[in-house]
A and B are shown apart, each in its own frame.
Chain A
């Protein structure tokens, strides 16, 4: 009898980006009341840390759930190439109309990665906007 042993493996990546939180139909006063200094029209920015968690049964031959260099390459090509050193509001199609809150960013990254990672694996994405503020989307 074989016992299923599911293991989670994590890869951490990072990117630096500028953004601004605002609702386009609102006045500056409404935006500042809701988003505070994050609504500065001249933008501000963060060092984002991204933690991608893949859960599944290790392959019987390789012992790997997923090859970490493959996972890293997927994150770099599909996520970091889009967002690193970018203005999320101005330079990305994903946030051209979607407010780039940490919540929305983690959701977008999850959806991008979900297309790339075998459906037999569970996926969860955690995004640190600062050391003290982070969000997580387990799908």
Chain B
């Protein structure tokens, strides 16, 4: 079993704000992340797939194709965007890093060939904060 990782990045605005709560409760739970006027991050995205290399190519999967699918299905929808307002696969969801990683997994797994097995989505919100999702 080999694991192959492609790293991409995007910059986006968001806020952590539950619309069914009062402003005070949002600030109590989410602190400065609840700022109604948004704040933002440079996100670093690690997508890892796994499997056995193809006998003829030696590839698990063509990493340029993987990069193209990540860009088309994920980073073009997220880069320089407002995650709460502009992203179809996050609509109605809290824009936490956890939910963003799950959303990215779901978008990619729907568009990668069935032969490609995803292992993990690792998403850095800052150099010190990241989440990992393994699809379960």
A residues with a Cβ closer than 8 A to B are: 14, 16-19, 36-38, 40, 42-47, 84-87, 90-91, 130-131
Contact = CB atoms under 8 A, between A and B. Distances in A.
Contacts of A87: 13, 35, 37-39
Interface in B8-22: 9, 11-14
B13 A18 contact: yes
Nearest to B9: A130
B79 interface: yes
B41 A46 contact: yes
Contacts of A40: 80-82, 86
B49 interface: no
B100 to A, nearest CB: 13
6 contacts: A16-B40, A17-B39, A42-B82, A44-B82, A46-B41, A131-B42
A22 to B, nearest CB: 13
Contacts of A46: 11, 40-42
B127 interface: yes
Contacts of A90: 37
Interface string B76-98: 00011110011000000000000
A16 to B, nearest CB: 5
A47 B42 contact: yes
A82 B9 CA distance: 27
Of listed B14, B80, B126, residue having the most chain A CB within 10 A? B80
Contacts of A18: 13, 37-40
Interface residues of B, number: 23
Given A16-B40, A16-B126, A130-B42, A42 B35 contact: no
A34 to B, nearest CB: 14
B131 interface: no
Given A43-B40, A45-B12, 11 more contacts: A18-B38, A37-B79, A43-B82, A44-B11, A44-B40, A44-B81, A47-B42, A47-B126, A85-B39, A87-B39, A90-B37
Contact of B39 (A14, A38, A86, A130): A86
B35 A45 contact: no
A85 B33 contact: yes
Interface in B53-83: 79-82
Contact of A42 (B13, B42, B79): B13
A90 B14 CA distance: 14
A45 B86 contact: no
Contacts of B39: 16-18, 45, 84-87
A17 B32 contact: no
A86 B42 CA distance: 15
